[in-house]
Structure 1
């Protein structure tokens, strides 16, 4: 299981770079292939889980991934008390810093459920969305 939770920074940068044009301008760039989108979503979510280890918040990006992150009380059964859920494009925009947590939530593109769900904001972005070759974040943002 540990191998699934980790994300190689080089692969993560490459996966995000493959979808970067689409993330910046949905109308002008063609949508990425499902496999490209899945790779970028999974790798960035696993990067979040690696930089913010824990199990108090569950981040869901259907249909591709769900990860637990952020230190605190561990959840093991049933519906978690702290859930973040969004679509793949919004997740990648959050993960790259192209959109903030508050803005995505206000626009109805991000659901934050539970008192600790909003804490993901301090750990995002996990890669930079402002360059052609994003760099993984080293610390909470």
Structure 2
């Protein structure tokens, strides 16, 4: 069964609202914004080599390369929702996030610097 996709106009609105309201945004808005940006990452970098986790809201596998099938993936990136939103929208750079220990990245391919920020405001899908 295919996963339900977040419609871009809805996802972008949630991201904008979350960016405006910051941590004061309601949980539903934060969850939708995080999931939309994770969906966008998976669209821009399809694959199954790196797992990006933003607990408790979601996770995706992305980046071409060897596919992981069982247990903990060898390449894992994990962070909180606020950090993910900043990285995905350009408010925080990858090196700074690592330096400040806002991101946990393990594995040789667990580096997202070439993929971020995402092109989340562009019309990439026909609505």
Q: Normalization by structure 1: what TM-score? A: 0.80
Which of 101, 105, 109 lines up with 1:108 in the alignment?
A: 101
Judging changes above 3 Å, is the alpha-carbon distance between structure 1 residues 115 and 71 closer, same or farther for their aligned structure 2 residues? same
CA distance in 2, matches of 1:90, 1:63: 13
1:40 paired to 2:33:
yes
CA distance in 2, matches of 1:76, 1:44: 24
SS at match of 1:89: helix
Could you tell me which runs of 5 or more consecutive residues in structure 1 were left unpaired when the two chains were aligned.
24-29, 129-134
1:89 paired to 2:88:
no
- Once the two structures are superposed, what CA deviation does each residue of 1:32-67 show, in whole Å capped at 9, x if it has no partner? 100000000001001100111000000000001010
Aligned position for 2:114: 122
CA distance in 2, matches of 1:92, 1:50: 17
Aligned position for 1:21: 20
CA distance in 2, matches of 1:22, 1:59: 24
User: Runs of 4+ in structure 1 displaced over 3 angstroms?
Assistant: 1-4
Aligned position for 1:68: 61
CA distance in 2, matches of 1:49, 1:115: 19
1:77 paired to 2:63:
no
Judging changes above 3 Å, is the alpha-carbon distance between structure 1 residues 51 and 2 closer, same or farther for their aligned structure 2 residues? farther
Q: Normalization by structure 2: what TM-score? A: 0.89
1:56 paired to 2:42:
no
Contact 1:7 1:47 in 2 (8 A): no
Aligned position for 1:10: 9
CA distance in 2, matches of 1:11, 1:3: 16
Q: What is the RMSD computed on CA atoms of the aligned residues?
A: 1.8
